[in-house]
Amino acid sequence: MKKNILVTGGAGYIGSHVCHKLLDDGFNVTIIDNLITGNRELVPNKAKLVVCDISDEKKINKILKENKFDLVMHFAGLIRVDESVKEPKKYDKFNFEKAKLFLDICTKNNLNKIIFSSTASVYGNPDNQRVSEDDPLNPLNPYAASKLKFENFLIEESKEDKIDYVILRYFNVAGADEKMRTGLTSNYSTHLIKIASEVATGKRENIIINGDDYKTYDGTAVRDYIHVSDLADIHLISGKYLMANKKSHIFNCGYGKGYSVKEVIKCFNEILDKEILYKIGPRRPGDSKMLVSNPDKFTNFFLWKPKFNDLKYILTTALKWEKKIK
């Protein structure tokens, strides 16, 4: 009998990739998305879409009473660091208060297994060049703080035996589905690779590098980029594990190799055989200088190997998607 998965934020960039992965693997998928930032066109045909907010208690209760779900994957939330610095209360409300209310509704309806979409931003500016799950947590912005707050709530709920969880801390997610079924469509993205793809396709004039005075090897911020399809695979594996076990985990999601902003631009230039224009701007409030994962916990636990661990491939799929939606 097919397992039933509930996905919040399934019309978004990462959520839609995970939904395709789940459907490809034979699961039934129901998506809850308010479509404020999500895109109906990214929803897979085989998935059921319910348009509502995760804080709509009446609708969520109705969905949970009419369906028996084996697992919930929670992607819904706000993700812009710059916006969170300007509107911290908004981020606490959406990413913590609403998520807490949603989880309370789930547990009252006996849905108590959750995969949570968290962020490497909870580490802040780590001392280690490759950060591990048990390293100190020091969020530098309200976005990261709201994610950590919900992580801590899940941990406390688990201690009371109310839920089982897998928390996935994403490093920088990029690229697009290799079959070009979905990708990043936001018009307000702050993602470097999305912006570079827009410049390459003539949708933007240039890239603004947010600071070139960091204490890194070329002065620009360093990030660990993971292909979104590998991240979708991590969700599939984590979901199968959680449905079969009563043990909770936190895992980093990255490749363990960092690239600076200038290195990413250089790689784009090699793909395009021309130079992308960029300007140097001020640092962005709340940004870390370097965030690179130690991914060993997940890879060793599940004996997992990534399929798309190649910066050039990540950029190529992002660029191909950008051309498709032009």
R_g of the chain, CA atoms, integer Å: 19
Beta bridge partners of 235: none
Residue 305's SS3 state is coil
Active-site residue list = 143
Contact between 292 and 254 under an 8 Å Cβ cutoff? The reply is yes
Decide: 225 and 309 in contact? Cβ < 8 Å: no
**Cα–Cα distance measured from residue 45 to residue 128, given in angstroms and rounded to the nearest whole number:** 43
> 145-148: long-range contacts (C-beta < 8 A, 24 or more apart)?
145/88, 145/91, 145/92, 146/77, 146/78, 146/84, 146/91, 146/92, 146/94, 146/95, 146/96, 147/77, 147/95, 147/118, 147/119, 147/121, 147/122, 148/118, 148/122
67 CB neighbour count, 10 Å cutoff: 15
